[in-house]
A = this chain, B = another copy of it.
Amino acid sequence: MPAAIFLSPEDAEHAYYEALRAGDTDALMAVWSEDEEIACIHPSGPRHVGPAAVRTSWQQILANAGLQVTVSQLQVARNPLCAVHSVLEQIQVEARPQARYAFVLATNVYMKEADGWRLVLHHASPAIGHEDTGAQLAQTHRLH
């Protein structure tokens, strides 16, 4: 399979979250740079450095299923060779008896390489103070 080519940071980020939803580690790693300096921090987890360690960390997370994740509140700082995306991730952590969500603040840094834009850093941490609106909505529905 030829490596994917991303012509913009937005393309790369779209592919990244699609891969997470699909639970497809190969597609996910195709978004990452192959540079040994890449770093990935999962919420409340240690730092993983380099493609091999980053792949292993995602294989464990995606072992059973894809992540039901939606992204909002995109904030971007960029120049011609780099894009810094800050987003709020809403991840479904339970489906039954009612949907429950975890909220995560994530920083994704993309750099322009010879073959297109690639992810070089993902730093995620719990987002404190975000309402679990999904659960609240479900709760409201159950009460009526």
A109 in contact (CB, < 8 A): yes
If A86-B39, A107-B121, A123-B123 touch, whether A129 touches B46 (CB-CB below 8 Å) is: yes
Chain B residues near A86 (CB, 8 Å)? 39, 41, 47, 49, 121, 123
Minimum C-beta distance from A144 to chain B (A): 32
A45 in contact (CB, < 8 A): yes
The number of chain A residues touching the other chain, given as a range, is: 35 or more
A120 touches which one: B49, B77, B127 (CB < 8 A)?
A: B77
A58-84: contact bitstring with B at CB < 8 Å (1 yes, 0 no)? 000000000000000101110111101
A54 in contact (CB, < 8 A): no
A121 touches which one: B45, B77, B126 (CB < 8 A)?
A: B77
Main secondary structure on A side of the interface with B: strand
Do residues B77 and A128 form an inter-chain contact, with CB atoms below 8 A? no
Chain B residues near A105 (CB, 8 Å)? 41, 47, 123
Chain B residues near A76 (CB, 8 Å)? 37
Do residues A121 and B84 form an inter-chain contact, with CB atoms below 8 A? yes
Do residues B111 and A109 form an inter-chain contact, with CB atoms below 8 A? no
Q: A40's closest neighbor in chain B, by CB?
A: B86
